[in-house]
Structure formats: structure tokens, C-alpha cells
Amino acid sequence: MINTANLQGVQNVVSQGIDFPSYLSGFFEGEGCFSVSFSRNIKYRLNWEVRPSVSASQNESRRQIVDSIQNYFGCGFIRRDLSDKTVKWECRSLNEIHSIILPHFDLYPLITTKNEDVKSLRKVVKMMSNKEHLNRAGLIAIVNIVKEMNPDGKRRIALTDILASMR
């Protein structure tokens, strides 16, 4: 769960009028990304590692919001992208996404179709918590959930290739 001491710290940097958790969801409505990627990795029995991710970027000149996200959630990491002068907060931990981040978006849900990505991520994270991504049927089910996510984004690996190259 969210560390309320962290929340107190964040709430101190914003105006008294702002409800920071609501503000954060508004920011993620525009700038957040809820995704699942696949990485070819022969250490995994099926050849593929499944990697859930929640992230948000901002121009370097406005990194205060990125720092506030990390303070609020108390997890994830921040890295600078020198190529486009942005700063990105990202959490890739299954456990932290499950126990800290998704509960926030349960209480303060997005209002657009991006909420469908949150719901899909929630399904995948639940399956992964049950180790279903380690068996063939589970991995196929995850690929089928992920192919509906982020319809406006680009995908680096074709999902059909994953299905074809599973051991």
C-alpha cells in the first residue's frame, strides 16, 4: 500500500487545494503508460520473459512531477533520456505494481479508454502472481491480453513471433 508518510511529504509540496492522488491520476491519464513487454530469454522455460511496466515521462525541466511520483509510490526508478531531454519514472517490479501501484488506480481510476490498459495490466499481473506465465497456456493467454493494449503505441516484437517461437 501507499506509504502515508510519503503521501504527507508530497502533499506538502502541492497547494492545500490539490488532492495529490487525484492530480497524479490526471497526470497519468495523459503521460502514463501501462504496458507488458516480452523479452527473448533462454533462461526461461518457454524462451520468453514477461515484463510488466508502469511509467511516466516528462521534460527534464519539469522533473519535479517525476520525483513526486516516486515519493508518492515509494518505488520505481528514475532515469534520464539524454536523446530527448526527458526524465522517466518506471516501475517494473511485479510485486510493487501489484501491491502499490494498481491499488492506487483502483481508488483513483482513469476516465478514458486508457483505463482498459490498466485493467489488462491487472489481469496479467494477477496471472503472473499465480505463475501462469510459466506455462504455455498461460503465456498464450497473456499474449492475447497484451495484443489489445496500447492501441496507439508501437510494438517492437510481433506477438505472432512470440507464439511461434515458444518452446
Q: Which residues bind a copy of itself (CB under 8 A)?
A: 13-15, 17-31, 56, 58-59, 61-65, 68, 85, 107-109, 111-114, 151-152
CB of 100 to a copy of itself, least distance (A): 16
Q: Could you give the CA distance from residue 118 to residue 86 in angstroms, rounded to a whole number?
A: 23
Of 118, 120, 112, 27, the C-alpha closest to 67 is 27
Q: Could you give the CA distance from residue 42 to residue 72 in angstroms, rounded to a whole number?
A: 36
CB of 20 to a copy of itself, least distance (A): 7
CB of 151 to a copy of itself, least distance (A): 7
Q: Which is nearer to a copy of itself, 101 or 162 (CB)?
A: 101
Residue 43 CA neighbour count, 13 Å, CB half = 3
Q: Which is nearer to a copy of itself, 118 or 128 (CB)?
A: 118
Q: DSSP letter at 110?
A: -
Q: Which is nearer to a copy of itself, 29 or 96 (CB)?
A: 29
Q: Please state whether beta strands 77-81 and 32-40 pair in parallel, antiparallel, or not at all (unpaired).
A: unpaired
Do 58 and 87 meet the contact criterion of CB atoms below 8 Å apart?
A: yes
CB of 84 to a copy of itself, least distance (A): 10
Q: Which is nearer to a copy of itself, 62 or 126 (CB)?
A: 62
